[in-house]
Amino acid sequence: MAEPSDGVAPDGDGIERPSHPVTMKDVARAAGVSVATVSLVLNNKKNARIGEDARRRVRDAIDALGYRPNALAQNLVNGSSRFIGLVADAIATTPFAGQIIHGAQDEAWRHGYVLLVANTEADERAEREAIAMMLEHKVRGILYSTWYHRAVAVPVALGETEFVLVNCFAERGRSSAVVPDEEQGGRRATELLLARGHRRIAFVNTTTESPARSGRLAGYRAALESAGAPFDERLVFEAQPDQDGGFEIVETILDSGASAVFCHNDRVAMGLYDGLHQRGVRVPADISVVGFDNQEVIAAHLHPPLSTVALPHYELGARGVRVLLGLEESVGPSPILVECPVVERESVAAP
Amino acid sequence: MAEPSDGVAPDGDGIERPSHPVTMKDVARAAGVSVATVSLVLNNKKNARIGEDARRRVRDAIDALGYRPNALAQNLVNGSSRFIGLVADAIATTPFAGQIIHGAQDEAWRHGYVLLVANTEADERAEREAIAMMLEHKVRGILYSTWYHRAVAVPVALGETEFVLVNCFAERGRSSAVVPDEEQGGRRATELLLARGHRRIAFVNTTTESPARSGRLAGYRAALESAGAPFDERLVFEAQPDQDGGFEIVETILDSGASAVFCHNDRVAMGLYDGLHQRGVRVPADISVVGFDNQEVIAAHLHPPLSTVALPHYELGARGVRVLLGLEESVGPSPILVECPVVERESVAAP
DNA sequence: TTGAAAGCGCTAACAA
DNA sequence: TTGTTAGCGCTTTCAA
């Protein structure tokens, strides 16, 4: 069905190669030792004294035969695997889920673990099956992740193993969880504008109730207040959280007399740009704009490139495995908050 | 470290629950039968006649104890696992890799397989380790995927198992491979314009050598020719394949007198839109535009929404596992070509 | 310094 | 209709 671009190790090495899968027994035979010895040198146990000679013979046999340990067998005897399960509700909708997987995968790998990935598309049945399968594979633990920050009902089966919620938190009860610090992010975004001297800063929030909505608003407000700028409710607007929402709210923003706008996300900012351009309003000369999410395809390539605050998805995945593995304390009853870093580009200027 | 939102099954069911992991032996004891019997009813082997009574007792015991088969043990005895490995060179850079994973995962799942995912960031060492790890877990086979369509040097270790290249093909030698049909895609994109009556259609190709570059060009040309429209070399331009490239080429396009533009990808189209808007040129009233890739965040939300041709990443992943599993013939020496479907939106009008 | 042997949880002959 | 038993490939005492 498929062939390697290159041959396998040549056979003329003088050692007989068993017809198919090379086991430890084969190595032992070839090296003239017992399987126990092979096992010992393989895992180089320190308190097992193996002669230099035998050790070498084993090594040679392993190379010659192209032996690979059978992880299935190892896991069976050790009673647990090196798997970490990751169940995601949407792995392809946005690049976000990808980032979580990426972070989790890197960190897991670093500690000798492998990711078992399951996509559930938020289907409860798929979710149950995914978790069951992971449990049956005796995973070290499960990362339960969502593609946008929200509260979730923790599936009962998760209780059979250790788990960490990633980018979500438990509706009720407490569970280890790692989520983005929306408020801090909102504060940073606003400060980006404040720092350049803006005082009348509009905030285009989303219409949908969510931690992002309340968190970013709180951050916006806090930044304003601690900068001594007035918080004016009439400068807070709501729009559908996408390009259309941003596009439709231009007029309103322009009427408000704000010199800068903090958008709930980059997509809103993109729509806003569009509407602004159509009216001949220049960014940032006439009005400054800041986004949120740092959705690369958009933010980095708008004209001018959009200053924004990044959602730390990679970090969420990575932190998730760290707390799962007990490398990091999940202190306190509330979720671990991960910072949202700012990404400065060119959409902000002095008023 | 983490608690379920809900308790585990109550203990007052009259059956003693062993302190920790419930094994088949526990079930056998509780049901008053042998492990063989339990195994038989579990896998409901047809040619094994088990009494209704025993069968029920086993079922009850399983429920009562909350037994879960140990997949590790099952795999060990069967000599092979239900894993399919997926090595990707970039899982987070774009939504594309996510789609491949998604498709592979869905299809694998459908056939009772689980995805083992590894991200290599194109690092050779990471790649070797990832493949080794998969081999050690006795995967059924490996999907080797890239985030953009290209030729690859097939890692030697892949030869130790079955594998399928996804979104890439072997530099030399033949290997099963599944790739997008760039030429067909280019043809479709051009036809979108041709169908509305355009004859002078500009093509903004990428500057970088790739199957996408040559394939889409060939498709463009073929469509033109079979529609009896002249292929004019002076209508083929090159630009960096992103927003900047598209933005910078507007003037040139406008000067060419073309009534429509087929862009190498959606990002280029986005940049083009931008430049067009700035000059007061309307899409599609003054000029029609077609993209490629169907990068949702962009294409669906431009003004007007961009008609484009989709890269079939989901399908690539799914087909990949199908050929891996031998469900689909990988006929012939050349890669399997997957169709690029067109996605019509509103950026095309009559000239 | 090494080997023999038990056993991880499960499946599959083979007996009974 | 069911139980006994021998492995699957490996790790790990325990003896030698």
Confidence tier at A48 by pLDDT (50, 70, 90) = confident
Distance of alpha carbon A318 from alpha carbon A316, whole angstroms: 5
Distance of alpha carbon A116 from alpha carbon A84, whole angstroms: 6
- pLDDT, residue A154, reads 95
pLDDT at position A24 over 70: yes
pLDDT at position B113 over 90: yes
pLDDT at position A10 over 80: no
Beta bridge partners of B236: B203
Confidence tier at A122 by pLDDT (50, 70, 90) = confident
Contact A267 B297 (CB under 8 A): yes
Nucleotide nearest to A26 (CA to C1'): D9
Output the average pLDDT for chain B: 91
Distance of alpha carbon B131 from alpha carbon B144, whole angstroms: 9
- pLDDT, residue B1, reads 40
pLDDT at position A20 over 80: no
Do the beta carbons of residue B135 and residue B148 sit within 8 Å? no
Output the average pLDDT for chain A: 91
Count the helix, strand and coil residues of chain B and give each as a percent rounded to the nearest 5.
40, 20, 40
Confidence tier at A15 by pLDDT (50, 70, 90) = very low
Give the residue with greater pLDDT, A224 vs A52. Answer: A224
Nearest to B2 among A71, A132, A175 (CB): A175
SS3 label, residue B134: helix
Average pLDDT over residues B8-30: 65
- Nucleotides, chain D, CB distance < 7 Å: 1-5, 7-13
Q: Please, what sign has the CA dihedral across residues A22, A24, A26, A27?
A: positive
Encoded tokens for B328: 């689909």
Nearest to A92 among B69, B93, B99 (CB): B99
B245 phi and psi, to 5 degrees? -55, -45
Nearest-CA distance from B34 to chain A in Å? Answer: 21
Contact B76 A71 (CB under 8 A): no
pLDDT at position A8 over 90: no
Alpha helical stretches, state H, B227-295: 243-248, 250-256, 266-278
Chain B residues touching A9 at Cβ < 8 A: none
Average pLDDT over residues B157-164: 94
Do the beta carbons of residue B101 and residue B54 sit within 8 Å? no
Nucleotide nearest to A40 (CA to C1'): D11
User: Which residues 1-40 of A interface with strand D at a CB distance below 7 A?
Assistant: 21, 23-25, 35-36, 39-40
Q: Which helix (H) or strand (E) holds B24?
A: helix B24-31
Contact A102 B91 (CB under 8 A): yes
Rounded, the Å distance between the CA of B43 and C1' of C15 is 22
B78 touches strand C (CB under 7 A): yes
Per-residue pLDDT tens over the stretch A37-47: 999 999 888 77
Average pLDDT over residues B214-218: 98
B54 touches strand C (CB under 7 A): no
Nucleotide nearest to A47 (CA to C1'): C1
Looking up tokens 């379920």 gives B4
- pLDDT, residue B95, reads 76
A92 touches strand D (CB under 7 A): no
Beta-carbon neighbour count of residue A49 at 10 Å?
A: 7
Contact A136 B267 (CB under 8 A): no
Per-residue pLDDT tens over the stretch A325-351: 999 887 677 899 999 999 999 999 999
Do the beta carbons of residue B267 and residue B243 sit within 8 Å? yes
pLDDT at position A7 over 70: no
Distance of alpha carbon B142 from alpha carbon B199, whole angstroms: 46
Sequence letter at residue B125: R
- Peptide bond before residue B304 is cis, with ω within 30 degrees of 0: yes
Nearest to B95 among A81, A95, A126 (CB): A95
Rounded, the Å distance between the CA of A72 and C1' of D8 is 10
Average pLDDT over residues B227-242: 97
Contact B71 A116 (CB under 8 A): no
Confidence tier at B19 by pLDDT (50, 70, 90) = low
Chain B residues touching A135 at Cβ < 8 A: 68
pLDDT at position B148 over 80: yes
Average pLDDT over residues A247-255: 97
Distance of alpha carbon B327 from alpha carbon B336, whole angstroms: 14
- pTM (predicted TM-score): 0.89
Encoded tokens for B268: 């280029």
Nearest to B156 among A4, A117, A160 (CB): A4
- pLDDT, residue A16, reads 46
Protein residue closest to C13, using CA and C1': B36
Contact B71 A242 (CB under 8 A): no
Ramachandran region, residue B211 (left: φ > 0; alpha: ψ -120 to 50; beta: rest):
alpha
Percent of chain A with pLDDT over 70: 94
- pLDDT, residue B7, reads 29
- Nucleotides, chain C, CB distance < 7 Å: 1-5, 7-13
Per-residue pLDDT tens over the stretch A134-180: 999 999 999 999 999 999 999 999 999 999 999 999 998 889 999 99
Pairing of the two strands B342-343 and B308-309: antiparallel
End-to-end CA distance of chain B: 65
pLDDT at position A266 over 80: yes
Per-residue pLDDT tens over the stretch B267-297: 999 999 999 999 999 999 999 999 999 998 8
Nearest to B2 among A8, A163, A267 (CB): A163
Count the helix, strand and coil residues of chain A and give each as a percent rounded to the nearest 5.
40, 20, 40
Which of the 8 DSSP states describes residue A336?
E
Question: For chains A and B, what is the number of CB pairs under 8 angstroms?
Answer: 228
Burial A12-28 (b: 16+ CB within 10 A, else e): eeeeeeeeeebbbebbb
Which of the 8 DSSP states describes residue A320?
H
Q: How many residues comprise chain A? A: 351
Look at A120-124, A134-138, B235-239 and tell me which has the smallest mean pLDDT: A120-124
B88 touches strand D (CB under 7 A): no
- pLDDT, residue B13, reads 39
pLDDT at position A3 over 80: no
Contact B326 A1 (CB under 8 A): yes
pLDDT at position B240 over 90: yes
pLDDT at position A18 over 60: no
B195 touches strand D (CB under 7 A): no
Percent of chain B with pLDDT over 70: 94
Alpha helical stretches, state H, B43-167: 52-65, 71-78, 95-110, 124-136
- pLDDT, residue B222, reads 98
